[in-house]
Amino acid sequence: MSATFGRRQVLQALAGGAAGLAVSELLPGKAFAQAAQEPPLTVTRLTDRIAVISGAGGNVVVLSGPDGVLLVDSGSAERSADLLEAVARLPGGHRIDTVFNTHWHWDHTGGNERMRAAGARIIAHENTRLWLGTPIWVEWQNRTYAPRPRRAWPTETFYATGEMSFAGEPIEYGYLEQAHTDGDLYVYFRRENVLVPGCVLSVGSYPIIDYSTDGWIGGLSAATQRLAGMIDAGTRIVPGVGPVQSRADLLAEHAMLEDLQNEIWHLMLKGQGIPDIIAADPTRQYDATWGDPKLFIRGAYRSLYAHCRELRGAV
Protein backbone atom coordinates (compact mmCIF):
# COMPACT_ATOMS: atom_id res chain seq x y z
CA MET A 1 0.00 0.00 0.00
CA SER A 2 2.85 2.40 0.70
CA ALA A 3 4.79 4.28 -1.97
CA THR A 4 8.36 5.47 -2.20
CA PHE A 5 8.30 9.21 -1.56
CA GLY A 6 10.28 10.29 -4.60
CA ARG A 7 8.36 8.07 -7.01
CA ARG A 8 5.00 9.08 -5.54
CA GLN A 9 5.85 12.78 -5.80
CA VAL A 10 6.85 12.36 -9.44
CA LEU A 11 3.68 10.44 -10.24
CA GLN A 12 1.51 13.01 -8.50
CA ALA A 13 3.23 15.81 -10.35
CA LEU A 14 2.59 14.04 -13.63
CA ALA A 15 -1.02 13.43 -12.68
CA GLY A 16 -1.61 16.98 -11.54
CA GLY A 17 -0.50 18.48 -14.82
CA ALA A 18 -1.96 15.92 -17.20
CA ALA A 19 -5.72 16.41 -16.94
CA GLY A 20 -7.50 15.73 -20.19
CA LEU A 21 -4.60 13.95 -21.90
CA ALA A 22 -4.94 10.61 -23.66
CA VAL A 23 -3.55 7.56 -21.88
CA SER A 24 -0.62 7.34 -24.29
CA GLU A 25 0.41 10.89 -23.35
CA LEU A 26 0.42 10.02 -19.65
CA LEU A 27 2.86 7.12 -19.96
CA PRO A 28 6.35 8.03 -18.74
CA GLY A 29 9.49 6.78 -20.38
CA LYS A 30 11.70 4.12 -18.82
CA ALA A 31 13.56 6.72 -16.75
CA PHE A 32 12.31 5.26 -13.49
CA ALA A 33 14.95 2.80 -12.35
CA GLN A 34 12.45 1.21 -9.98
CA ALA A 35 10.10 0.32 -12.83
CA ALA A 36 12.75 -1.77 -14.55
CA GLN A 37 13.14 -3.84 -11.40
CA GLU A 38 9.45 -4.54 -10.88
CA PRO A 39 7.93 -7.74 -12.28
CA PRO A 40 5.73 -7.27 -15.34
CA LEU A 41 1.99 -7.13 -14.91
CA THR A 42 -0.01 -10.16 -15.99
CA VAL A 43 -3.06 -9.84 -18.24
CA THR A 44 -5.55 -12.72 -18.16
CA ARG A 45 -8.47 -12.83 -20.55
CA LEU A 46 -11.75 -14.00 -18.99
CA THR A 47 -14.00 -13.26 -21.98
CA ASP A 48 -13.62 -11.47 -25.30
CA ARG A 49 -14.30 -8.19 -23.51
CA ILE A 50 -13.12 -8.69 -19.91
CA ALA A 51 -9.53 -9.06 -18.73
CA VAL A 52 -7.84 -9.13 -15.33
CA ILE A 53 -4.56 -7.28 -14.80
CA SER A 54 -2.61 -8.71 -11.86
CA GLY A 55 0.48 -7.36 -10.13
CA ALA A 56 -0.56 -3.71 -10.02
CA GLY A 57 -1.44 -3.88 -6.32
CA GLY A 58 -4.87 -5.48 -6.20
CA ASN A 59 -6.44 -7.11 -9.23
CA VAL A 60 -7.74 -4.66 -11.83
CA VAL A 61 -10.63 -5.81 -14.01
CA VAL A 62 -10.98 -4.21 -17.44
CA LEU A 63 -14.11 -4.17 -19.60
CA SER A 64 -13.22 -3.13 -23.15
CA GLY A 65 -15.52 -1.23 -25.47
CA PRO A 66 -14.92 0.14 -28.96
CA ASP A 67 -14.28 3.66 -27.67
CA GLY A 68 -12.84 3.12 -24.22
CA VAL A 69 -12.54 0.93 -21.13
CA LEU A 70 -14.12 0.55 -17.72
CA LEU A 71 -11.95 -0.53 -14.79
CA VAL A 72 -12.76 -2.05 -11.43
CA ASP A 73 -10.09 -0.73 -9.03
CA SER A 74 -7.02 1.28 -9.94
CA GLY A 75 -4.19 -0.64 -8.28
CA SER A 76 -1.34 0.91 -6.32
CA ALA A 77 0.30 4.28 -6.90
CA GLU A 78 3.66 2.58 -7.45
CA ARG A 79 2.38 0.57 -10.42
CA SER A 80 -0.04 3.11 -11.87
CA ALA A 81 2.19 3.96 -14.83
CA ASP A 82 2.63 0.26 -15.63
CA LEU A 83 -1.11 -0.26 -15.27
CA LEU A 84 -1.86 2.52 -17.74
CA GLU A 85 0.60 0.97 -20.16
CA ALA A 86 -1.07 -2.44 -19.87
CA VAL A 87 -4.54 -0.93 -20.27
CA ALA A 88 -3.40 1.01 -23.36
CA ARG A 89 -2.58 -2.28 -25.09
CA LEU A 90 -6.13 -3.59 -24.63
CA PRO A 91 -8.98 -2.87 -27.09
CA GLY A 92 -10.37 0.57 -26.33
CA GLY A 93 -7.54 1.21 -23.87
CA HIS A 94 -6.72 4.57 -25.40
CA ARG A 95 -9.46 6.07 -23.22
CA ILE A 96 -10.36 5.25 -19.62
CA ASP A 97 -14.02 6.12 -19.19
CA THR A 98 -15.01 4.81 -15.74
CA VAL A 99 -13.27 3.36 -12.69
CA PHE A 100 -14.96 1.65 -9.74
CA ASN A 101 -13.23 1.51 -6.33
CA THR A 102 -14.27 -1.60 -4.40
CA HIS A 103 -13.03 -0.04 -1.11
CA TRP A 104 -10.59 2.60 0.17
CA HIS A 105 -7.37 0.60 0.62
CA TRP A 106 -4.45 2.17 -1.22
CA ASP A 107 -3.53 -0.96 -3.22
CA HIS A 108 -6.99 -0.63 -4.84
CA THR A 109 -7.26 3.17 -5.08
CA GLY A 110 -3.61 4.19 -5.50
CA GLY A 111 -4.01 4.83 -9.22
CA ASN A 112 -6.99 7.14 -8.80
CA GLU A 113 -4.98 10.29 -9.42
CA ARG A 114 -3.66 8.95 -12.70
CA MET A 115 -7.10 7.76 -13.76
CA ARG A 116 -8.63 11.15 -13.03
CA ALA A 117 -5.85 12.78 -15.03
CA ALA A 118 -6.77 10.46 -17.92
CA GLY A 119 -10.31 11.86 -17.77
CA ALA A 120 -12.02 8.98 -15.98
CA ARG A 121 -14.95 9.28 -13.62
CA ILE A 122 -14.52 7.27 -10.42
CA ILE A 123 -17.46 5.57 -8.71
CA ALA A 124 -17.38 4.32 -5.11
CA HIS A 125 -19.52 4.03 -2.03
CA GLU A 126 -19.82 7.27 -0.08
CA ASN A 127 -17.91 5.77 2.87
CA THR A 128 -14.92 5.12 0.61
CA ARG A 129 -14.87 8.79 -0.35
CA LEU A 130 -15.01 9.77 3.31
CA TRP A 131 -12.12 7.47 4.26
CA LEU A 132 -9.96 8.75 1.40
CA GLY A 133 -10.46 12.31 2.62
CA THR A 134 -9.49 11.85 6.27
CA PRO A 135 -6.50 10.58 8.32
CA ILE A 136 -6.99 6.91 9.21
CA TRP A 137 -5.30 5.12 12.10
CA VAL A 138 -5.24 1.42 11.18
CA GLU A 139 -4.44 -0.33 14.43
CA TRP A 140 -3.71 -3.78 13.03
CA GLN A 141 -1.03 -2.27 10.77
CA ASN A 142 0.18 0.24 13.37
CA ARG A 143 -0.02 2.86 10.65
CA THR A 144 -1.69 6.19 10.01
CA TYR A 145 -2.83 6.87 6.45
CA ALA A 146 -2.77 10.54 5.47
CA PRO A 147 -5.78 12.02 3.65
CA ARG A 148 -5.54 11.56 -0.10
CA PRO A 149 -5.63 14.67 -2.31
CA ARG A 150 -9.00 15.58 -3.78
CA ARG A 151 -7.97 14.34 -7.21
CA ALA A 152 -7.85 10.83 -5.71
CA TRP A 153 -11.43 10.98 -4.41
CA PRO A 154 -14.34 9.38 -6.25
CA THR A 155 -16.23 11.73 -8.53
CA GLU A 156 -19.53 9.90 -7.97
CA THR A 157 -20.76 8.04 -4.89
CA PHE A 158 -23.83 6.02 -3.97
CA TYR A 159 -25.38 4.41 -0.89
CA ALA A 160 -27.23 1.21 -1.85
CA THR A 161 -27.23 -0.22 -5.39
CA GLY A 162 -26.93 1.02 -8.93
CA GLU A 163 -27.07 -0.01 -12.56
CA MET A 164 -25.42 1.34 -15.66
CA SER A 165 -24.48 0.30 -19.17
CA PHE A 166 -21.04 0.54 -20.70
CA ALA A 167 -20.48 -0.24 -24.37
CA GLY A 168 -23.75 -2.19 -24.36
CA GLU A 169 -22.81 -4.25 -21.30
CA PRO A 170 -25.29 -4.05 -18.40
CA ILE A 171 -23.47 -3.55 -15.09
CA GLU A 172 -24.88 -3.97 -11.61
CA TYR A 173 -23.13 -2.68 -8.51
CA GLY A 174 -24.05 -2.54 -4.85
CA TYR A 175 -22.99 -1.82 -1.30
CA LEU A 176 -21.90 -4.73 0.91
CA GLU A 177 -22.22 -2.78 4.16
CA GLN A 178 -19.73 -3.51 6.94
CA ALA A 179 -17.66 -6.39 5.65
CA HIS A 180 -13.94 -6.08 4.78
CA THR A 181 -14.37 -2.32 5.42
CA ASP A 182 -17.57 -0.29 5.70
CA GLY A 183 -17.30 0.90 2.10
CA ASP A 184 -17.14 -2.37 0.15
CA LEU A 185 -18.97 -2.73 -3.13
CA TYR A 186 -19.36 -5.42 -5.77
CA VAL A 187 -19.52 -5.02 -9.54
CA TYR A 188 -21.39 -7.67 -11.50
CA PHE A 189 -21.17 -8.06 -15.25
CA ARG A 190 -24.26 -10.22 -15.51
CA ARG A 191 -24.18 -10.91 -19.26
CA GLU A 192 -20.52 -11.94 -19.08
CA ASN A 193 -21.22 -13.67 -15.73
CA VAL A 194 -18.20 -12.11 -14.01
CA LEU A 195 -18.44 -10.88 -10.41
CA VAL A 196 -15.89 -8.54 -8.78
CA PRO A 197 -16.33 -8.35 -4.96
CA GLY A 198 -12.98 -6.80 -4.04
CA CYS A 199 -11.34 -8.13 -0.88
CA VAL A 200 -14.59 -9.47 0.54
CA LEU A 201 -13.39 -12.71 -1.07
CA SER A 202 -9.91 -13.78 0.03
CA VAL A 203 -7.68 -16.40 -1.60
CA GLY A 204 -5.00 -18.39 0.22
CA SER A 205 -5.21 -16.46 3.49
CA TYR A 206 -7.87 -15.54 6.00
CA PRO A 207 -9.82 -12.44 4.95
CA ILE A 208 -8.71 -9.17 6.48
CA ILE A 209 -11.28 -7.67 8.83
CA ASP A 210 -10.37 -3.99 8.80
CA TYR A 211 -12.09 -3.14 12.07
CA SER A 212 -10.34 0.24 12.09
CA THR A 213 -12.65 1.27 9.25
CA ASP A 214 -15.67 -0.65 10.58
CA GLY A 215 -15.30 -4.00 8.90
CA TRP A 216 -16.61 -6.95 10.89
CA ILE A 217 -16.84 -10.72 10.66
CA GLY A 218 -20.65 -10.79 10.72
CA GLY A 219 -20.77 -8.39 7.79
CA LEU A 220 -18.26 -10.48 5.85
CA SER A 221 -20.36 -13.58 6.44
CA ALA A 222 -23.53 -11.78 5.32
CA ALA A 223 -21.80 -10.33 2.26
CA THR A 224 -20.51 -13.70 1.04
CA GLN A 225 -23.96 -15.22 1.51
CA ARG A 226 -25.61 -12.38 -0.39
CA LEU A 227 -23.14 -12.60 -3.26
CA ALA A 228 -23.53 -16.37 -3.54
CA GLY A 229 -27.27 -15.89 -3.90
CA MET A 230 -26.76 -13.57 -6.89
CA ILE A 231 -24.69 -15.92 -9.05
CA ASP A 232 -24.49 -19.48 -10.34
CA ALA A 233 -21.93 -22.27 -10.64
CA GLY A 234 -20.60 -20.84 -13.90
CA THR A 235 -19.82 -17.38 -12.52
CA ARG A 236 -16.19 -16.34 -12.53
CA ILE A 237 -15.30 -14.32 -9.44
CA VAL A 238 -12.31 -11.98 -9.44
CA PRO A 239 -11.10 -11.47 -5.84
CA GLY A 240 -9.22 -8.41 -4.66
CA VAL A 241 -5.96 -10.34 -4.93
CA GLY A 242 -5.27 -13.77 -6.39
CA PRO A 243 -6.61 -16.04 -9.11
CA VAL A 244 -10.18 -16.24 -10.37
CA GLN A 245 -12.55 -18.15 -8.07
CA SER A 246 -15.93 -19.85 -8.29
CA ARG A 247 -19.22 -19.80 -6.40
CA ALA A 248 -18.03 -22.89 -4.53
CA ASP A 249 -15.02 -20.94 -3.25
CA LEU A 250 -17.29 -18.10 -2.12
CA LEU A 251 -19.54 -20.56 -0.29
CA ALA A 252 -16.52 -22.17 1.38
CA GLU A 253 -15.47 -18.78 2.74
CA HIS A 254 -19.00 -18.12 3.94
CA ALA A 255 -19.14 -21.45 5.79
CA MET A 256 -15.77 -20.75 7.44
CA LEU A 257 -16.82 -17.24 8.49
CA GLU A 258 -20.16 -18.35 9.90
CA ASP A 259 -18.56 -21.17 11.88
CA LEU A 260 -15.71 -19.07 13.27
CA GLN A 261 -17.97 -16.16 14.14
CA ASN A 262 -19.93 -18.50 16.39
CA GLU A 263 -16.83 -20.17 17.83
CA ILE A 264 -15.03 -16.92 18.66
CA TRP A 265 -18.18 -15.28 20.04
CA HIS A 266 -18.81 -18.21 22.39
CA LEU A 267 -15.22 -17.99 23.64
CA MET A 268 -15.66 -14.27 24.21
CA LEU A 269 -18.80 -14.93 26.25
CA LYS A 270 -16.63 -17.09 28.52
CA GLY A 271 -14.43 -14.06 29.18
CA GLN A 272 -11.54 -15.05 26.95
CA GLY A 273 -9.40 -12.37 25.34
CA ILE A 274 -7.42 -12.46 22.12
CA PRO A 275 -4.38 -14.43 23.48
CA ASP A 276 -6.73 -16.97 25.09
CA ILE A 277 -8.71 -17.44 21.88
CA ILE A 278 -5.56 -17.86 19.80
CA ALA A 279 -4.37 -20.48 22.32
CA ALA A 280 -7.76 -22.25 22.12
CA ASP A 281 -7.10 -22.77 18.39
CA PRO A 282 -10.68 -22.46 17.12
CA THR A 283 -9.48 -22.24 13.51
CA ARG A 284 -7.48 -25.47 13.43
CA GLN A 285 -9.69 -27.22 10.88
CA TYR A 286 -9.32 -24.27 8.46
CA ASP A 287 -5.66 -23.32 8.83
CA ALA A 288 -4.41 -25.71 6.12
CA THR A 289 -6.52 -23.78 3.61
CA TRP A 290 -6.45 -20.26 5.03
CA GLY A 291 -3.02 -20.01 6.70
CA ASP A 292 -1.94 -18.21 9.88
CA PRO A 293 -5.10 -17.22 11.80
CA LYS A 294 -3.69 -14.74 14.32
CA LEU A 295 -4.56 -11.52 12.47
CA PHE A 296 -7.96 -12.92 11.54
CA ILE A 297 -8.75 -13.85 15.15
CA ARG A 298 -7.71 -10.40 16.32
CA GLY A 299 -9.90 -8.75 13.70
CA ALA A 300 -12.83 -11.03 14.45
CA TYR A 301 -12.55 -10.35 18.18
CA ARG A 302 -12.30 -6.59 17.81
CA SER A 303 -15.20 -6.47 15.36
CA LEU A 304 -17.41 -8.73 17.48
CA TYR A 305 -16.67 -6.59 20.52
CA ALA A 306 -17.84 -3.53 18.55
CA HIS A 307 -21.12 -5.34 17.79
CA CYS A 308 -21.60 -7.07 21.15
CA ARG A 309 -24.72 -5.11 22.10
CA GLU A 310 -26.68 -6.22 19.05
CA LEU A 311 -25.34 -9.78 19.36
CA ARG A 312 -26.67 -9.86 22.92
CA GLY A 313 -30.02 -8.54 21.71
CA ALA A 314 -29.52 -5.27 23.59
CA VAL A 315 -30.21 -3.00 20.64
How far apart (Å, rounded) are the C-alpha atoms in residues 294 and 306? 19
What pLDDT score does 310 carry? 82
The rounded distance, in Å, linking the Cα atoms of 208 and 215 is: 9
* % of the chain beyond a pLDDT of 70: 87
Q: Is the backbone of residue 138 left (phi > 0), alpha (psi -120 to 50) or beta?
A: beta
For residues 119 and 142, give the distance between their C-alpha atoms in angstroms, rounded to a whole number. 35
> Beta strand pairing status for 136-138 and 121-125?
unpaired
Q: Which of 156, 158, 171 is nearest to 63 (CA)?
A: 171
| pLDDT tens per residue, range 233-271 | 999 999 999 999 999 999 999 999 999 999 999 999 999
Do residues 233 and 247 make contact, with C-beta atoms less than 8 angstroms apart? yes
d(CA 258, CA 249): 14
Is the pLDDT higher at 276 or at 29? Answer: 276
pLDDT in the model for residue 313 = 65
- Tell me the pTM: 0.87
Instruction: Please report the pLDDT score of residue 24 as a whole number.
Output: 37
d(CA 134, CA 145): 8
pLDDT band of 25, cuts 50, 70, 90: very low
Q: Is the pLDDT of residue 34 over 90?
A: no
* Percentage of residues in the chain having pLDDT higher than 90: 85
Residue-wise pLDDT tens digits, 75-110: 999 999 999 999 999 999 999 999 999 999 999 999
Confidence at residue 309, expressed as pLDDT on a 0 to 100 scale: 83
Averaged pLDDT of the chain: 89
What is the Cβ-side half-sphere exposure of residue 41, based on CA atoms within 13 angstroms? 28
- Cα–Cα dist 114/143, whole Å: 24
pLDDT per residue as tens digits for the range 179-226: 999 999 999 999 999 999 999 999 999 999 999 999 999 999 999 999
**Rounded average pLDDT over 144-151:** 97
Q: Write a three-state SS string for 73-131.
A: CCCCCCCHHHHHHHHHCCCCCCCEEEEECCCCCHHHHCCHHHHHHCCCEEEEEHHHHHH
Query: What integer pLDDT is reported at residue 212 of this predicted model?
Result: 97
Whether residue 117 is predicted with pLDDT greater than 70 in this model: the reply is yes
What is the reported pLDDT for 154? 98
Task: Say if residue 115 is exposed, middle or buried (CB neighbours under 10 Å; 0-12, 13-18, 19+).
Answer: buried
Helix %, strand %, coil % of the chain (to 5): 40, 20, 40
pLDDT range class, residue 315, cuts 50, 70, 90: very low
CA dist., res. 231 & res. 251, Å (int): 11
- Where do the domains of the chain lie, and which CATH numbers do they carry? 5-258 (3.60.15.10)
Residue 59: its pLDDT value, please? 98
